[in-house]
Amino acid sequence: MELKTVGTAGTLESSDIMITLEPAQSGGIEIVSFESSVMNQYGRQIKAEVLASLDRLGVKNAKVTVNDHGALDCTVKARVECAYYRGCQCDVDGTYPWGGVIR
């Protein structure tokens, strides 16, 4: 499975995070924009969680946009995964890996 198109998940609501992933051929993981309403106290941790989630998903190259409004780590993880599977067009194939499938 790999990113085929732009995948976005999440909202700009408070306590949510909007993640946008763009496919890239090379260049590794590039964070093109990172905004957070809790940047000073949790920005570092949110960034680490985004990168760890992408790593877990096996994403090697992508452009990443993060717009956070105070999401918890579980939300960050869920939004990254969803953005990835949308970018992979899992919805076209109808095969979202639900529940315990994602490690």
Partner 1 sequence: MRNAVGREIPDELLKSDLRNGKGYEVYQGKGYRDGKYIKKQGPTTRIYQKPTESKILPSIREAVIKSGLKDGMTVSFHHHFRDGDFIVNMVMKEIVDLGIKDITIAASSLGTAHDPIAEYIEQGIVTGIQTSGIRGKMGEVVSQGKLKTPAILRSHGGRVRAVEEGDVHIDVAFIGAPTADEYGNARALGGKSDCGVLSYAVVDSEYADKVVVITDTLVPYPNFPASIHGINVDYVVVVDAIGEPKKIASAAARMTQNPRDLMMAENVAKIMTATPWFKDGFSFQTGAGGPSLAVNRFLEPLMVEKGIKMAWAIGGITGSICELKEKGLVGKIIDVQDFDTSAINDIRNNKNHYEMTASEYANPANKGAFVNKLDFVVLAALEVDIDFNVNVITGSNGVLRGAPGGHPDTAEGAKCCIIVTPLTRGRMATICEKVVTVTTPGDCVDVVVTDYGLAVNPKRQDIIECLDKAGVKHVPIKELQEKAYSMVGRPDDLQWEDKVVAILEARDGTILDVVRKIKPCEI
Nearest to 10, CA basis, from 44, 36, 29: 36
C-beta closer to partner 1: residue 38 or 92 = 38
Q: Contact between 77 and partner 1 (CB under 8 A)?
A: no
Q: Contact between 70 and partner 1 (CB under 8 A)?
A: yes
Alpha carbon distance 29, 74 (integer Å): 21
Nearest to 70, CA basis, from 57, 79, 82: 79
Q: Contact between 60 and partner 1 (CB under 8 A)?
A: no
- Residues engaged in binding partner 1 (CB under 8 A): 14-15, 34, 37-45, 47, 69-73
